[in-house]
């Protein structure tokens, strides 16, 4: 009879699909763990304090993208990793909000802090001051000298079309952009002043107001005097008298390009130009400077005065007169003041000369006694 057969265990053949799936799943899990670790690391680096120990100025070039800015931040030592900054910027959906300009980055700023500053902060502002009464040529020269501005000015602006003031700008702004700011400010100020002018003025247009305001601006540096000086010129225009303003003669000579640097000659007073108000009736052909707001207001709302004349009084202001005789007396006083000042200046110069001569003589005496 047959013996009993032993049971044999049959080994199942490994399932290749399951093996691949398991390996793939393992890789996915490993990838997720690594990815989570990298994300955690990136978030930590993005939010942790940065490497700079003190406040730093960082400049964002005009037109620079997030990659360029990130590399520049890393190169300058403000962040530790440009890639983390780039990914953080995209993750916060701020990659299109980065601004150009200079920004103050506080000490220990994180990448997040820096990103907020570059997208929501305000770039550092610089300024240029244009004094009242500057001609357009002088304004252009001052803007040319402003080293933080860039570019050329297309052309010298029309005289009287700019408003003197202090204007803010960011490093790298163009000179032409500042000119445009001044034009807009002038137009807005003039429109409001013209709207609120007194009735019955012998001025028909805003342009004429600017012309007269430019003369007032050049005649006095005292804000308190401007309405009265304007009142004198308004009175003269109403009476058909010539304005007889020295600054108009000077502008006709220099065309606003610098100062005359000397007194007027009789031949220049007698020369008939479009600006010489000793020789022409009414207003000159155009402004002789860029007047400030206060001078324009003074012309729009002049002081009520009977005065027709004024002359310097030696104190920085002017003496006003209703009649020519009073004016002549004031002129005589001014000439006496000028004479006394000239004599005092000559005496001071002579005293200085004598002091130098005495010092030299004492040196010679000392040398002789030592020999």
**278-289 residue pLDDT tens:** 999 999 999 999
SS3 assignment for the chain:
CCCCCCCCCCCCCCCHHHHHHHHHHHHHHHHHHHHHHHHHHHHHHHHCCCCCCCCEEEEECCCCCHHHHHHHHHHCCCCCCHHHHHHHHHHCCCCCCCCCEEEEECCCCCHHHHHHHHHHCCCCEEEEECCCCCCHHHHHHHHHHCCCCECCCCCCCCCCCCCCCEEEEECCCEHHHHHHHHHHHHHHHHHHHHHCCCCCCCCCCHHHHHHHHHHHHHHCCCHHHHHHHHHHHHHHHHHCCCCCCHHHHHHHHHCCCCCCCCCCCHHHHHCCCCCCCCCCCCCCCCCCCCCCHHHHHHHHCCCCCCCCEEEECCCCCEEEECCHHHHHHHHHHHHHHHHHHHHHHHHHHHHHHHHHHHHHHHHHHHHHHHC
- Between 38 and 111, where is the model more confident? 111
The mean of the pLDDT values for the chain is 88
Domains in the chain with CATH codes: 39-120 (3.30.1490.480), 126-187 (no CATH), 205-332 (no CATH)
| 265-293 average pLDDT score | 94
| 316-340 average pLDDT score | 89
**118-154 residue pLDDT tens:** 999 889 999 999 999 999 999 999 999 999 999 999 8
47: pLDDT strictly greater than 80: yes
pLDDT value of residue 1: 47
329: pLDDT strictly greater than 70: yes
pLDDT band at 28 (very low <50, low <70, confident <90, very high): confident
Query: Model pTM?
Result: 0.76
């Amino acid at each position: 009879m047959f013996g009993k057969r032993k049971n044999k265990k049959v080994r199942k053949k490994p399932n290749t699909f399951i093996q691949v799936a398991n390996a793939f799943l393992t890789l996915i899990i490993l990838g997720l763990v690594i990815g989570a670790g990298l994300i955690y690391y990136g978030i930590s680096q993005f939010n942790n304090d940065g490497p700079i120990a003190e406040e730093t100025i960082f400049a964002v070039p005009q037109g620079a993208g997030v990659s360029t800015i990130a590399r520049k931040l890393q190169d300058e030592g403000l962040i530790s990793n440009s890639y983390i900054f780039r990914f953080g910027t995209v993750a916060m959906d701020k990659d299109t909000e980065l601004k150009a300009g200079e920004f103050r980055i506080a000490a220990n700023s994180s990448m997040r802090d820096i990103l907020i500053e570059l997208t929501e902060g305000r770039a550092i502002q610089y300024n240029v001051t244009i004094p009242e009464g500057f001609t357009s040529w002088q304004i252009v020269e001052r803007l040319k000298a402003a080293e933080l501005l860039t570019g050329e000015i297309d052309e010298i602006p029309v005289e009287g079309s700019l408003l003197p003031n202090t204007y803010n700008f960011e490093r790298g702004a163009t000179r032409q952009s500042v000119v445009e700011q001044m034009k807009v400010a002038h137009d807005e100020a003039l429109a409001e002043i013209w709207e609120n002018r007194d009735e019955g003025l012998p001025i028909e247009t805003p342009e004429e107001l600017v012309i007269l305001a430019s003369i007032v601006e050049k005649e006095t540096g005292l804000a308190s005097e401007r309405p009265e000086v304007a009142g004198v010129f308004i009175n003269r225009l109403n009476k058909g008298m010539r304005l007889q303003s020295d600054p108009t003669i000077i502008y006709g000579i220099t065309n606003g390009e610098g100062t005359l640097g000397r007194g007027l000659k009789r031949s220049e007073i007698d020369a008939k130009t479009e600006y010489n108000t000793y020789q022409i009736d009414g207003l000159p052909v155009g402004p002789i400077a860029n007047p400030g707001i206060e001078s324009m207001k003074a012309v729009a709302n002049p002081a009520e005065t009977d005065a027709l004349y004024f002359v310097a009084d030696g104190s920085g202001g002017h003496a006003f007169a209703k009649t020519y005789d009073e004016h002549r007396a004031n002129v005589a006083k001014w000439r006496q003041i000028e004479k006394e000042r000239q004599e005092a200046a000559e005496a001071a110069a002579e005293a200085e000369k004598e002091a130098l001569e005495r010092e030299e003589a004492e040196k010679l005496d000392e040398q002789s006694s030592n020999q």
